[in-house]
Each structure stands twice: as C-alpha cells, then as structure tokens.
Structure 1
Amino acid sequence: MSQILMIEDEPRISSFVAKGLKAEGLATTVAGTGREGLILALTGGFELVILDLGLPDMDGFTVLEKIRAQDPGLPVIILTARASGEDTVTGLTSGADDYMPKPFRFAELVARVRLRLRSEGNSSSAPADPVLRHADLELDPIRHVAAIGGVEVDLSAREFSLAETFLRHPGQALSREQLLSRVWGYDFDPGSNVVDVYVRYLRNKLGVTRFTTVRGVGYRLVDEKDYQPADD
C-alpha cells in the first residue's frame, strides 16, 4: 500500500482526504503543522506529499523548499485555498509537481495522486494503463475521455467524476454519502438528492442497465446481464 503524507492543519479536510485515500488503497499519515510535516517527509517513508500552504507555524512554500533541498525526487502536490495565478506559478516553479485549489473534487485529487505515483515508479517497466474499463465502457481520467465501444460520449466534469468513482469500485454498493463525499467534496450536503439526479444523467448517457439501485444504500455498477430492474 502506497504511503501518502498530508500536511494540512484543518482537521475536517485532512480527515476527509485520509479516509477517502484509504478507501482507494492509499495509506495516509496527517501532519497538522509544517514542522511536523517536514520531519516526517524527510524520513524517506513516504511516496508522495500533499501540502497545504496556509500552515500555522511556517509557510507551505518554506516547507516545500526544505523538502526539495533534501529530497528532490519526492512528489509534492500542493492543495490550498491560495488559488491566485501568482501562487500557482510560485508553487510550480518552487518544485511542486502539481497544484490544486480548494475547494476540490476528490476524484480529481485521487487521479492526480495516482498519476504522480505512477510517474515515480519503475521507469524501466511499461507504464500502467490509466484507462478504466467495465464491459464496453472506457474512461481515461488523464485525457478526460469516456467511450462506449470506442465511440466517445460527452460527459460533464461532474458526470465524469461520478462515472470514474463507479469504475474504480465495480460491483461494489456505494452509498449516496460515499458518492457525495468523493465527487462533490467535503462541503457536500448529506440531505441533497444530487446523486440520484446525476445517476439518472449517467443512465441516460451510458446505459440504464449499467447502474442498479441498492435499496436503502445507493447504487452499484454492474454487468448489464446482472442488472436487476426490480431493485429500482
């Protein structure tokens, strides 16, 4: 299991991300201050760092600078509310591998984390295929392309993130709360019916029989032969 370090002082965000990454098979350690995060980052026990800039004891750029001075190869993704063009440029030119503004979509964060982990893998081996597949449905999270039987399907950003979540957990019953948190982020409204609305959108675009309703839980991506209309 890949080891991720998250340097973030807001418990609500760090807890949300840590739980979500764990569900994706990525173990996450959280540091609430820049000093603690820097010490952990330089132990060599982590494969990637998710770094906030607005830390209570030192600026995130300072943390990044110190990490780069001692470990130039450790991937760092900045995740911050500081989304100005100037901060983005400073982050990338200071050695960050990626820069994501808050609020963020969890599915996009996972895709970026996996991309950086793959790029840091064994460069002598063939790169892992990023395309997600289920029957004749294909999703390429890097190119943001969806296709059925080789024919591209136009999905909105939110529809794509929801479809990606299903394809990363084929056959698994996903609750509405799980889907809300992973696609709509940590500020989601647990009483919203937006998941049901977007599942209907996906059924219209990708096929009704791909997504079955699990009563009292949520939805499941299934093989079309296993679709059970009685559940709906």
Structure 2
Amino acid sequence: MTGDEAEPMLIGDMMTGGYGKGADILHECTIAVDAGQIAVIVGPNGAGKSTAMKAVFGMLTVREGAVRLDGEDITALTPQDRVAKGMAFVPQTSNIFTSMTVEENLEMGAFLRRDGIAQTMEQIYELFPILREKRRQAAGELSGGQRQQVAVGRALMTEPRVLMLDEPTAGVSPIVMDELFDRIIEVARTGISILMVEQNARQALEIADKGYVLVQGRNAYTGTGAELMADDEVRRSFLGG
C-alpha cells in the first residue's frame, strides 16, 4: 500500500442500516478519519448525521458495509468492546454525572483501565485548565461549555485512539464554541483521531481535515474542510451562502 491508499484509523465503509428492525436510515454511507485528524459530519436536520456516528460506534444495525478500526473489522462488536479497542463516544446529552464532582467524573472515565491514571488526569487538566480549578465542584453546577469539557475529558481518560463527539457545541455561545474547537484541535495534535457531528457547519469545516455532507443518510459531498468551504453548491445549500 502506498501512503495514499493507507487504511484510515477508523472507517464506516458503505454502511447501510437503521435502528433495530426499522427502515434503513443510512444508504451506502462512508465516514472515515485518519490518525490525528479531525473529520466532521454536517448536513441538514434529519440527514442521518448522528445515526452515521452511532453506526460507527455499534449502536445500530449495519446491514451492509463494514466498520474497521486500524484495519481490523469491528462491525460485529458491541459498543463496550469498541471502547476496549480504543474508541470513545461523547453523546450530545446526558454525558456527565451531574451529582459527582468534576474529578469523580474523570475517574469514572477510567473504569476500564488497570494502570495508574494520575498522568492522564494531569494531561486533561492541562488541556482544560478550568476543570482543575473546579475539580471539587459538582459537575451539574458548571456552565454548558464547562460540562462539555468534563464530558470530553472523561472520554479522554480511556486513552482512546478515536474520540467521537455528537454535536459538542450544541447550545453554547459562539465564544465558548470557539474555545471548545480550540481544545478539540489540541486533542487531535496529541495524535487522537476525532470524528464529530456538528450543527455549526461553517465553523466546524474551518477546523476539519475532512468533511462529510450527508443528505438523507447518503454522502452528498466529501472533501477537505477547505474544499467544502470553497464549494459554491455546499455553501449555498448548507452553509447559508
């Protein structure tokens, strides 16, 4: 294999599927992310963005196609088994334990680990300084943006190879969104692959190495973030002109 043909770190390859025995929501949909890169899934409401992410994480039935992590076929694995293989998923809601402290939330993230976690905890506090400051506070008392940092930090405690984020900036102010995106870039720089679904399509594509525009569960446009931002059709249809 040449460098150009190397298998991505994570790929949902030509996935067709839906929830349980229900109708297919995804139709030959492909989503991939390379090591240490950021891939973003955007598109209109009801396009199947979160469904595509959940399919990659094993939360719905993939009837056709395959999911591979670092070249290994993981299509049949449960979400728990995928976590053990190095995948972490941060859902959009209910992603923290509100009654526990920030530090306890982070400790919960490390439940699968059998080694010392102090070093990872320190790395997370360096990445998210506000969490160190508030580590003794109940996570439920934090602002929306700070809660998202707790959720991402908890996922990072598993030392994942791939971090999956479902609308990480939902409901936060533009300033907080920019800050979260800065942190996400920093996470990717440590070599972790990031796959995220984002409503704030324009801002997300600005930081994306790869972008996927989904429409009705199918790939409508795929390219680098810059290519999609420069595409008149994508801009007009999905980025508000």
Range of TM-score over shorter length:
under 0.3
TM-score (norm 1): 0.27
Structure showing greater Rg: 1
Q: More relative contact order in 1 or in 2 (CA 8 Å, sep 6+)?
A: 2
TM-score (norm 2): 0.26
